[in-house]
Amino acid sequence: MAEPTLPVAPRGAQDITGLVLAGGLGSRMGCEKGLQRFDGQALAARALQRLRGQTGLQALNANRSPADYAALGAPVWPDAQPDQAWGPLAGVLSGLEHMATPWLMTVPCDVPFFPLDLGSRLSQALQQSDALVATVRAWAPEDEDLLALARGAAPSANPLHRQPVFALLHRSLAPSLGHFLAQGERKVGAWLAGHPTVEVTYDPIQTPWQAFANVNTLSALHTLAGSARPAGES
C-alpha cells in the first residue's frame, strides 16, 4: 500500500490565512477584550496589522459585537455555536472551515507584541519536519510580573512553556478537531497530542519580554502599553 502523501509545507505567506482569536468571553477583563485600545487602536486591529506581513489573508474569530469587528477591515468568522464557551479551539475550527488556503496561522488578540517573524519561523519548522502543526515554546510573563518588568526589572528565570494558540495548522485537521470538540473536549494541548507537532523555541535571552506577554486585565493592558518598546517597535 502506498504511503499517504504529506501536505506540502507553506512556501510563503500566500499559502497561509492568519486568524486573530477574539472569541473568548474576556471575563477577567470585564469587557470585549479584542476591542480594547492599545496605542490608539483596538487590540484585534493591532494583531491583524502584525499578521499582514506574515500571512496572505487575514480574518477575525469573534462571537460578539460583529459590526465593531467587521469595521476593522477583515472577515469575521464566529464559532459554529457562538453561545457556547468552547474556548480557542472552536475559533481554530471556524478558521479551518472558512479559509481558502492550505494553512492557518492563529494568534490571540491579547498579545500586542507577538513576533513579526512568527510566520516565517513556523513555516520553516514545518518545511524541516513531517508535522501537521507548528507551535511555539516561549516564556509568557504573568500579569503580576508585568509591572516589575515595565519598571525595568530583569526577567526572572522562568521555564519556557508551549504557547499552543500561536500555531500554524494544515486544513486537513478540521475533521479531527470537529470530532474532538463534539466529544466535549476543550483542551488545546490534549488535541495537539494526537497529531504530529513541531515546536519553535523563542530564546528568552534573545527575545524581548513583551513578545508573548498577554493582557488579561485592564491593569495589565495599561501597564504593557506604558512600558518601553522592544527594539524595532514603534
Residues making up the binding site = 21-23, 33, 61, 79, 110
For residues 32 and 49, what is the distance between their CA atoms, to the nearest angstrom?
19
Q: Which residue ranges are tagged as binding site for GTP?
A: 21-23, 33, 61, 79, 110
Q: Are the beta carbons of 209 and 227 closer than 8 angstroms?
A: no
Residues 6+ apart with CB under 8 A from 107: 18, 19, 20, 21, 47, 50, 51, 114, 118, 165, 166
Q: Which residue ranges are tagged as binding site for Mg(2+)?
A: 110
Amino acid present at 91: G
For residues 222 and 111, what is the distance between their CA atoms, to the nearest angstrom?
13
